[in-house]
Amino acid sequence: MDHGRKDPWEPSAHGRELMVSLYYPARTGTGRPAPYMTKAEATTFLERLRQAGQLPPQAGQFPPEVLSSTRTHARTAALPAAGRHPLVVLSPGFGLNRATLTVLAEELTSRGNVVALVDHAYEADAAFPGGRTLPCTACAKLDATTSPGAGAAFMADVARNRAKDISFLLDRILPGHHHPAWKRSGLIDPKRVGMAGHSIGGAATATAMAGDSRIRAGANLDGTVAAPVPEQGLNGRPFLLFGNQATGRPGTDETWDTTWSRLDGWKRWLTVTGATHLTFTDLPALAQQAGLPTPPGTVPGLRGSDLTRSYVGAFFDQRLRGIPQPLLNGPVPGNPEVTFQTP
C-alpha cells in the first residue's frame, strides 16, 4: 500500500494498493500447489470477457471452475534456491488480472529469475486480501470517454500511473529497504531488473523505464504506446517489441514506428503472423486446452504461448543474465510465424 499516493480511480481508497505474486527459483519438492486464480476472480473475469465480446460463442456458459481449478507449475511457500537472481516485473493488460500472465511468469522463473506479477488496483477485477474482489473502476471510466482522443489520453494516464506503481514496488521489494514488503527480498540482484507487460502493461514498461533507471531492460507485448517514449530515448537500455500484425509493418498502430525511432539501445521488433491481441496471454492456450476451436487464420493458443515464452525468455536471458541468444539474431526456420522488422 502506497499511503503517499491517492488512488487515481477510486478517491475513497486509503492510498494506492497493489496486489503482487512473487515467483522465485525454488528447491525441488518443497511447498504446495499454487492456484491459478480464485473462483471469485474467475467469475468476475469471465463475466467481463462476455460483456466485452471476447469469449467465443462456443464457450457458452464457460464455468469459472475451468480457471479456478487450473493447475500451475508454481508452489506456495516453497524453499528458495540458493543465490541472487534478476528480477522481472510483469504488468497485465487493461481489464486483465495478473493471472493471465502466469505462463510467462513461470517460464521466466524456470530460467532463474525472480518475477513480480502485479495487479494494479481498480484496473481489473482482482482479488485482494480480506476476501475483497476490487472492481475494474477504470474500465467504466474508459467506457465513458466520448472520443478516440479522450480514450488515448486516458490510457496515457493509465501508463503513467502504472509507472509510478512499479517504482513504488521496486522501492519496497529491492534489497536495502529498512522494512521490505517481501521477506525474501535478498534473493533479488538489484542491478539486474527488467520489466515486461501485455497491452497497456507493455506501454507502461516503456514509461516506467523512462522514469526509473533501475529498470535495465523492457519488453512490450502488443501494447499501443499511449505515453510516448522520450525523444532522447531510454539511455541506451535494451527493449523488445513483440506483437501481432497490427503493430507490425505495415500495420495500424503508428505508435510502434515512433517508439522504434526513439529507442537508442539494443532493440528488436518482432511480428507474429496470425497472432491476436490476446495471443501473448494465457487465454488462448487455456481455450485450446478446454477444447474450443482455434479461429481460422490465427495462431493456435499453445503455439502462441510457446513463441511468447521462447522470445521473451531469450530476451531476458541475454539482457539480464548475459547468456547469448541466437534466437534473437534473425529469423529461424522453426518459427516461420515470426518476422523481424527492420525499418
Name all domains of the chain by residue range, CATH numbers in brackets.
18-340 (3.40.50.1820)
- Is pLDDT larger for residue 46 or for residue 98? 98
The neighbouring-strand residues paired with 218 are 195, 239
Which pLDDT does position 277 carry in this prediction?
94
Backbone dihedral angles phi then psi of residue 227, each to the nearest 5 degrees: -105, 110
Which pLDDT does position 137 carry in this prediction?
94
Which pLDDT does position 60 carry in this prediction?
60
Burial bucket for residue 117 (CB in 10 Å: 0-12, 13-18, 19+): buried
- Give the model confidence (pLDDT) of 180-203 as tens digits: 899 999 999 999 999 999 999 999
Which pLDDT does position 132 carry in this prediction?
85
- Give the model confidence (pLDDT) of 252-293 as tens digits: 999 999 999 999 999 999 999 999 999 999 999 988 988 888
Confidence bin at 59 (pLDDT 50/70/90):
low
Find out whether 144 and 137 touch, Cβ atoms under 8 Å. no
Quote the CA–CA distance of 124 and 14 in Å, as a whole number: 18
> Which is nearest to 226 in space by CA: 252, 249, 206?
206
Per-residue pLDDT, averaged over 306-311, amounts to 99
Cβ-Cβ contacts under 8 Å for 338 (sequence gap 6 or more): 270, 271, 272, 273, 307, 311, 331, 332
Which pLDDT does position 125 carry in this prediction?
86
Annotate 228-285 with DSSP letters as a single string: PPPTT-STT--EEEEE-GGGSSS-S-THHHHHHHH--SSEEEEEETT--GGGGSSHHH
The amino acid sitting at 38 is T
Cβ-Cβ contacts under 8 Å for 117 (sequence gap 6 or more): 20, 21, 22, 23, 90, 92, 98, 101, 102, 105
Backbone dihedral angles phi then psi of residue 262, each to the nearest 5 degrees: -100, -15
Which pLDDT does position 58 carry in this prediction?
61
Number of H helices, E strands in the chain: 9, 12
Which pLDDT does position 66 carry in this prediction?
81
Quote the CA–CA distance of 339 and 328 in Å, as a whole number: 11
0.85 exceeded by pTM: yes
Which pLDDT does position 95 carry in this prediction?
92
| Overall size of the chain counted in residues | 343
- Helix (H) / strand (E) containing 107: helix 102-110
Confidence bin at 67 (pLDDT 50/70/90):
confident
- Give the model confidence (pLDDT) of 233-254 as tens digits: 999 999 999 999 999 988 899 9
Annotate 111-142 with DSSP letters as a single string: TT-EEEEEEETTSS-EEEGGGEEE--HHHHHH
Q: Which residues of 300-310 are buried (b: 16+ CB within 10 A; e: fewer)?
A: bbbbbbbbbbb
Query: In this model, does residue 177 exceed pLDDT 80?
Result: no
Query: In this model, does residue 80 exceed pLDDT 70?
Result: yes
- Give the model confidence (pLDDT) of 309-340 as tens digits: 999 999 999 999 999 999 999 999 999 999 99
Query: In this model, does residue 2 exceed pLDDT 70?
Result: yes
Residue linked to cell 493471472: 99
Which pLDDT does position 91 carry in this prediction?
99
Which pLDDT does position 15 carry in this prediction?
93
Pull the grid cell for residue 264.
537508442
Which pLDDT does position 319 carry in this prediction?
98
Quote the CA–CA distance of 236 and 16 in Å, as a whole number: 31
- Is pLDDT larger for residue 131 or for residue 226? 226
**Mean pLDDT, the chain, integer:** 93
- Give the model confidence (pLDDT) of 206-227 as tens digits: 999 999 999 999 999 999 999 9
Query: In this model, does residue 61 exceed pLDDT 80?
Result: no
Quote the CA–CA distance of 31 and 281 in Å, as a whole number: 26
In Å, how far are 84, 107, 230, 233, 334 from 213, measured between CA atoms? 20, 25, 14, 12, 36
Query: In this model, does residue 56 exceed pLDDT 80?
Result: no
Secondary structure letter of residue 26 according to DSSP:
B
The neighbouring-strand residues paired with 114 are 87
Query: In this model, does residue 62 exceed pLDDT 80?
Result: no
